[in-house]
Amino acid sequence: MQGSFRVGNLFGIPFYVHFSWFIVLGLFTLTYSSELGKFTELTGLMPLGLGFIVALLLFASVLAHELGHSFVALRQGIDVKSITLFLFGGVASLDRESKTPGEAFWVAIAGPLVSFLLCAVFTALNFATSTSAVGAAITGLLAAINLALALFNLIPGLPLDGGNILKAIVWKITGSPYKGVEFAGKVGQIFGWLAIIGGLFSGRFWYALIGLFLLQNAGGAAQGARVQNKLAAFKAEQAVTPNSPIVPANISLREFANEYIIGKREWRKFLIVDELGRLSGEIAVDAMRAIPTNEWPQVLVGDLMQPVNFEMAIKPEQSLLDVVMLFEKNQITELPVITDNGVVVGLIEKAGIVGFLQQQAVTG
């Protein structure tokens, strides 16, 4: 999240705080310390100090909620990239989604369960501290805050936990995670609109602000699901770049220049294939400069072959979604598409996938 800075590590998870967090911290401390000022036994800076401590406990509660999600995700072998606290609470950024709807359900519900648990703990403390008016007020407030955290997050629309639970349920029923996201995203948009309208009519602009946040994120989730659904429907071989840089080993440099380079898209390297189309190596176009042009008819492409070793290659039958995820994860923009027998189908490029999807949108 932009405007966030790293505070440290929690159980190996990078922990960030967004600057908007300080606004809440300040506002909460001020509001609550003036409330605590009513207690005559609190004098001087004590209300302010206690208000600040309660504000910190509020954020600890949010953090515990996010750690709930994170621990369940870690148990499923999912990396937690970060936890960030910001204006509307917290967010745990997971490296990938759960593999099954059941697992997704547990990741989603773990946060609210932690909040319910903390609510129970503070309620018990509230009884234990009932002899002290101040102690009871603080523990009562923290119990209420954790209950509110659990209930608010259980609103059944993405991006909230309730939305993720709804997504998991729809996923389980339909067998499609995208349908789950789309549905939960739409419900999130409805709740977003309700909060905006309700907030504006009641004059509670905080609700309107939360509604706007919901609307924005839920819309993005629904749209993302549509794109993912589309990507999952196509195979890598369908989006291979036409006229990919592939050249047979047994033609001369002269033919290579005439037929593959002059007047064609500029490639820096070509993959070299044998007579069966199997990958044998690569040739850098620059390497031809070392050979005088009058010798080009006698020198074969195979003579300038360099070994090539791809750490990653795509299989033709892999989905475009797989390809895009590999691109994103490894920060790369192209990969070769190679069959199990080593036959090179072509190159698949990030930009080419975009073009392919646009073409599909036009043709139906």
Which residues of the shown chain bind Zn ion in the complex (CB under 5 A)?
Answer: 111, 153, 161
Crossing angle (nearest 10°) for helices 101-128 and 133-153: 170
d(CA 41, CA 250): 94
3-state helix vs strand vs coil in the chain, percent to 5: 60, 15, 25
Shortest distance, CB of residue 153 to Zn ion, whole angstroms?
Answer: 5
Helix (H) or strand (E) holding 191: helix 177-202
The smaller minimum CB distance to Zn ion, of residues 181 and 239, is found at: 181
Shortest distance, CB of residue 108 to Zn ion, whole angstroms?
Answer: 7
Of the candidates 35, 41, 66, 295, the residue annotated as catalytic is 66
The smaller minimum CB distance to Zn ion, of residues 83 and 247, is found at: 83
The smaller minimum CB distance to Zn ion, of residues 66 and 182, is found at: 66
Shortest distance, CB of residue 268 to Zn ion, whole angstroms?
Answer: 47
Radius of gyration in angstroms for the set of CA atoms belonging to the chain, rounded to a whole number: 29
The answer for 11, left when phi > 0, alpha when psi is -120 to 50, beta otherwise, is left
At CA 123, angle to CA 205 and CA 22, rounded to 5?
40
Residue nearest to Zn ion (CB): 111
Shortest distance, CB of residue 144 to Zn ion, whole angstroms?
Answer: 18
The smaller minimum CB distance to Zn ion, of residues 89 and 352, is found at: 89
CB atoms closer than 10 angstroms to residue 157? 27
The strand pair at 89-94 and 344-349 is best described as unpaired
Q: Phi/psi of residue 327, each to 5°?
A: -55, -50
Task: Indicate if 182 belongs to the active site.
Answer: no
Shortest distance, CB of residue 196 to Zn ion, whole angstroms?
Answer: 22
The smaller minimum CB distance to Zn ion, of residues 61 and 153, is found at: 153
Catalytic residues: 66
